[in-house]
């Protein structure tokens, strides 16, 4: 088995317009599997923590995971990493769809270096790479860019692109592929814009090399059928992830910028309402039997849209319950603006909620905004979102995200922030799910529900508990807020999340999949063997996850992150006056102390030399 077995990474220097292939050797696969693990090692090697995120020294790294594009279910995922222009620390986003699977057939990843003199797009067809003038598509929205490139190149090309917001280097900018699948969060689209790279189009006639394709496919097919026939697949196919009415019953949904305990509007924007009023058809990612992705349309009225993507739960809550907008069509329209302009929906919705809070308190005025911005005013939210996406008017400040906007606005507005390490917190309330507070506070890309499985553990989605020896002592639901076991469980679930992403498979494969398929982890280990001929144990697999997590932490330490940053903002801690969150003041101090101990970090949140040596990354300390 030569290097060919493990693939190659394409390095593109945009200024020199040169291409260089780097072979991936077995050791690197054993160390990181694929995906963000490769990326963070490259960012560390290049000392990117010393450079401005929008400078030519910040590479943008597209990586597929080890299983991406194979016959394994839901394996269409790729990651994009760099130093974040939103948070100034490690930045990363993952996306499904078909682009990653097509890329993996040709190359495992792309490192984009430096900056082009004028707009270009990268065309990849098997081993042929080309940078092509993009001046005629610069300025186009994401859907129009894809239409344009497909009409020029052919429908077989899979495309990932930035919209106008990425071109303008708006720090909330995302990267969009296929049917509005998004590399959201942390502003990777702004880095792409800073490099004058509009899009990447890929087509491949190649096949992935397997050590034993027949055995690999047998396992994949069995898992696919179990997933397809599960009750969870029924829920996801019908409602997507938008179970806001169910989450409301768990006191898990934030309202009015995290200040209200309850809001009737959730019943008007739930997945069942979307299914009844807007649904057109399911739009699954590559080899996905769950199909949470759906196409919607609004046939008439002010929010008329077609061929649009359905809002998932996070987006629905960010624009809906956070801004008190109870019009399901307006939320779909706001989501469509984000997708076509190329902006992250969670950060955009939360920043608008922050601005509504500031407006209510007289900190932002009608004169400054150009219009009134009352809670629940969907048309005002649309106006503001457009300004943020276009980097115009007050959008020049708010498009930087709520934390940096607050630094500019001042007047005590920081009290209304919901950010951790500069990233707006997602839409699950840690006052209802205690360990989620610890997960948010310690997540490497800032507050994140997707970098760990704390909410799944607490909700009873615990298919992986036995395999990972989580929750042995006492049921997680019975524990009080000061229980030190949370620390251990959160850390393990964060490491598992790194494995999930390094494999390039959808999160549902682990969270829902581990409930459906009893021995899922053993089957994944078998799949790794049948693909690569590398046999690893579950303990070794989890160590890979721990290694990736710690490497990202060291990168962040070098960006200035320490214990002072592993905190919750006031809005996520304070108890509410009424309801299930009454008297629930969330403190994570004890959990954090235990967490540092379990991780082998010192009191400042820096991994110890011994821990790094144990993980074989001590040369980065």
Give contact residues for ligand SF4 (rule: CB under 6 A): 74, 96, 236, 284-285, 288, 290-293, 506, 508
Give the phi and the psi of residue 79 in degrees, each rounded to 5: -120, 155
Q: Is the Cβ of residue 224 or residue 601 nearer to ligand SF4 in the bound state? A: 224
**DSSP helix/strand/coil, 371:** coil
Between 291 and 311, name the residue whose CB sits nearer to ligand SF4: 291
Distance CA 423, CA 430 (A): 16
- Give the C-alpha separation, 569 to 259, whole Å: 13
Smallest distance, Å, CB 509 to ligand SF4? 8
596, containing H or E segment: helix 589-599
The distance of closest approach from Cβ of residue 499 to ligand SF4 in the complex, given in angstroms and rounded to an integer, is: 16
In total, the chain counts a number of residues equal to 621
**What is the token pair recorded at 523?**
């089957």
- CB of 65 vs ligand SF4, minimal distance in Å: 12
Closest CB to ligand SF4 among residues 391, 501: 501
Give least dist CB 508 to ligand SF4, A. Answer: 4
CA 553, CA 101: separation in Å to the nearest integer? 29
Quick one: the chain helix, strand, coil %, rounded to 5?
45, 15, 40
Closest C-alpha among 101, 209, 79, 71 to residue 523: 71
CB of residue 290 to ligand SF4, shortest distance in Å: 4
Taking the C-alpha atoms of residue 119 and residue 60, their distance in angstroms, rounded to an integer, is 16
The residue among 190 and 524 lying less far from ligand SF4, judged by its C-beta, is 524
Which long-range contacts (C-beta less than 8 Å, at least 24 apart) are formed by 359-364? 361/416, 363/409, 363/411, 363/412, 363/413, 364/394, 364/409
Q: Are 341 and 141 in contact (CB under 8 A)?
A: yes
**Residue 291 or residue 462: which is nearer to ligand SF4 going by CB?**
291
What single string gives the DSSP state of each residue in 411-467? TTGGGG--EETTEE--SS-TTTSHHHHHHHHH-BTBS-SSSS-HHHHHHT--TTHHH
Q: Give the shortest CB-417-to-ligand SF4 separation in angstroms.
A: 29
- In a 3-state reduction of DSSP, which class is residue 282? strand
Between 335 and 483, CB nearer to ligand SF4: 335
Nearer to ligand SF4 by Cβ, of 236 and 447: the residue is 236
Cβ neighbours of residue 375 under 8 Å, at least 6 residues apart? 256, 323, 324, 356, 360
Nearest residue (CB) to ligand SF4, 73 versus 393: 73
Nearer to ligand SF4, 153 or 235 (CB): 235
* Smallest distance from ligand SF4 to CB 497, Å: 14
Phi-psi domain of 583 (left: phi exceeds 0; alpha: psi -120 through 50; beta: other): left
Q: Please report, for residues 143, 162, 301, 343, 484, the alpha-carbon distance to residue 306 in angstroms, rounded to integers and kept in the order given.
A: 11, 20, 12, 19, 50
Q: How far is CA 467 from the centre of its chain?
A: 25
CA distances from 491 to 28, 62, 113, 344 (A): 23, 26, 33, 26
The minimum distance between CB 99 and ligand SF4, in angstroms, equals 12
Helix or strand or coil: residue 112? strand
Q: Which is nearer to ligand SF4, 35 or 430 (CB)?
A: 35
User: Toward ligand SF4, which CB reaches closer, 59 or 284?
Assistant: 284
Contacts of 337 (CB under 8 A, 6+ apart): 343, 382, 385, 386, 389
Of 138 and 290, which has the nearer Cβ to ligand SF4?
290
Contact 488, 598 (CB under 8 A): yes
Strand partners, 91: 82
Least separation in angstroms between CB 73 and ligand SF4: 8
Q: What is the closest distance, in whole angstroms, from the C-beta atom of residue 274 to ligand SF4 in the complex?
A: 15
Question: Residue 442 Cβ, how far from ligand SF4 at the closest point, in Å?
Answer: 25
In angstroms, what is the minimal distance from the CB of 292 to ligand SF4? 3
How far apart are CB 281 and ligand SF4 at their closest, in Å? 13
Q: With 0-12 CB in 10 A as exposed, 13-18 as middle and 19+ as buried, what is 299?
A: exposed
Closest CA to 59 of 67, 68, 69, 49: 49
Answer whether 484's CB lies under 8 Å from 591's CB. Answer: yes
- In the chain, the N- to C-terminal Cα span, in Å, equals 33
Question: Could you tell me if 176 and 188 are in contact, meaning their C-beta atoms sit under 8 angstroms apart?
Answer: no
Instruction: Between 98 and 595, name the residue whose CB sits nearer to ligand SF4.
Output: 98
CB of 574 vs ligand SF4, minimal distance in Å: 33
Q: Which CB atom, from 208 or from 285, has the smaller least distance to ligand SF4?
A: 285
Q: How far is the CB of 285 from ligand SF4 (least distance, A)?
A: 3
Q: Which two tokens stand for residue 13?
A: 């220097």
CB-wise, 200 or 506, nearer to ligand SF4? 506
């Amino acid at each position: 088995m030569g290097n060919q077995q493990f693939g190659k990474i394409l390095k593109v220097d945009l200024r020199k317009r040169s291409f260089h292939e780097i072979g991936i050797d077995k050791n690197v696969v054993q160390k990181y599997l694929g995906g963000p693990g490769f990326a963070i090692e490259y960012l560390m090697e290049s000392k990117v923590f010393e450079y401005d995120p929008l400078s030519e020294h910040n590479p943008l790294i597209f990586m597929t995971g080890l299983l991406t594009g194979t016959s394994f279910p839901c394996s269409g995922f790729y990651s994009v990493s760099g130093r974040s222009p939103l948070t100034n620390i490690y930045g990363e986003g993952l996306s499904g769809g078909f682009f990653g699977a097509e890329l993996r057939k040709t190359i495992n990843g792309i490192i984009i270096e430096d900056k082009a003199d004028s707009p270009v797009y990268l065309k990849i067809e098997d081993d042929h790479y080309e940078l092509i003038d993009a001046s005629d598509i610069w300025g186009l929205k994401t859907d129009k860019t894809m239409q344009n490139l497909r009409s020029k190149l052919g429908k077989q090309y899979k495309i990932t692109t930035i919209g106008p917001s990425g071109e303008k280097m708006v720090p909330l900018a995302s990267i969009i592929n296929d049917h509005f699948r998004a590399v959201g969060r942390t502003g990777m689209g702004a880095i792409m814009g800073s490099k004058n790279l509009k899009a990447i189009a890929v087509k491949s006639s190649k096949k992935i090399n397997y050590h034993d394709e027949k055995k690999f496919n047998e396992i994949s097919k069995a898992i696919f059928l179990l997933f397809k026939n599960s009750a969870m697949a029924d829920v996801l196919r019908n409602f997507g992830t938008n179970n806001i009415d169910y989450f409301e019953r768990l006191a898990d949904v934030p309202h009015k910028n995290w200040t209200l305990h309850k809001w009737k509007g959730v019943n008007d924007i739930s997945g069942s309402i979307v299914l009844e009023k807007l649904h057109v058809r399911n739009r699954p990612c590559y080899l996905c039997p769950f199909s949470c992705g759906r196409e919607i349309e609004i046939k008439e009225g002010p929010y008329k849209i077609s061929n649009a993507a359905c809002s998932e739960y996070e987006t629905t809550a960010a624009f809906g319950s956070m801004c008190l907008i109870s019009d399901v069509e307006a939320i779909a329209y706001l989501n469509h603006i984000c997708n076509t302009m190329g902006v992250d929906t969670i950060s955009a919705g939360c920043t608008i909620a922050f601005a509504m809070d500031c407006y209510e308190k007289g900190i932002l005025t009608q004169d400054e905004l150009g219009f009134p911005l009352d809670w629940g005013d969907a048309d005002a939210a649309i106006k503001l979102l457009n300004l943020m996406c276009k980097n115009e008017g007050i959008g020049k400040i708010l498009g930087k995200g709520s934390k940096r906007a607050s630094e500019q606005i001042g007047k005590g507005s920081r009290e209304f922030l919901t950010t951790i390490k500069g990233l707006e917190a997602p839409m699950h309330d840690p006052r209802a799910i205690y360990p989620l507070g610890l997960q948010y506070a310690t997540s490497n890309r800032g507050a994140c529900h997707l970098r760990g499985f704390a909410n799944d553990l607490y909700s009873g989605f615990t298919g992986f508990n036995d395999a990972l020896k989580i929750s042995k002592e006492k049921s997680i639901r019975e524990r009080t807020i000061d229980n030190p076991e949370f620390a251990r469980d959160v850390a393990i679930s964060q490491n598992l999340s790194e494995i999930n992403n390094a494999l390039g498979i959808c999160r549902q494969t682990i969270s829902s999949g581990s409930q459906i398929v009893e021995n899922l982890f053993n089957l994944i280990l078998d799949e790794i063997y049948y693909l690569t001929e590398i046999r690893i144990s579950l303990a070794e697999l989890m160590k890979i996850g721990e290694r990736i997590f710690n490497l990202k932490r060291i990168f962040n330490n070098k960006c200035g992150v320490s214990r002072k940053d592993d905190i919750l903002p006031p809005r996520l801690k304070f108890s509410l006056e009424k309801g299930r969150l009454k008297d629930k003041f969330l403190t994570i101090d004890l959990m954090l102390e235990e967490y540092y101990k379990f991780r082998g970090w010192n009191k400042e949140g820096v991994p110890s030399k011994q821990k790094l040596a144990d993980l074989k990354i001590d040369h980065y300390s």
